[in-house]
Amino acid sequence: MSKVLVRDLSPAALNRLKARARKHGRSLQAELKSILEQAARVDTGTARALAARIRQRLAGRSHTDSVALLAEDRRR
């Protein structure tokens, strides 16, 4: 498991995080872990919406066959 060190966190921020941890019935470490995991979670709804916008923007365009380009490049 990885470790993270946070330096120079203000006392006010630390106190708010401790209060939040108490509110959720967790240790400070467990609360920080929860916050970081939630922040790092992939939002699939946002990713799908972005993919749909890209597909819509590229619709109707012709695209070069990447397999053919790779094969040509390997022959060089």
User: What's the 3-state SS for 47-72?
Assistant: HHHHHHHHHHHHCCCCCCCHHHHHHH
pLDDT at 43 (0 to 100): 86
For residue 76, give the 3-state DSSP assignment: coil
Beta carbons within 8 Å of 55's beta carbon, 6+ residues apart: none
Q: Name the token pair of 50.
A: 């972005």
pTM of the entire structure? 0.57
| pLDDT of 1 strictly over 80 | no
| pLDDT of 70 strictly over 80 | yes
Q: pLDDT tens, 4-51?
A: 999 999 999 999 999 999 999 999 999 999 999 999 988 899 999 999
Which has more pLDDT, 62 or 12? 12
Residue 64's pLDDT band, with cuts at 50, 70 and 90, is confident
pLDDT at 15 (0 to 100): 98
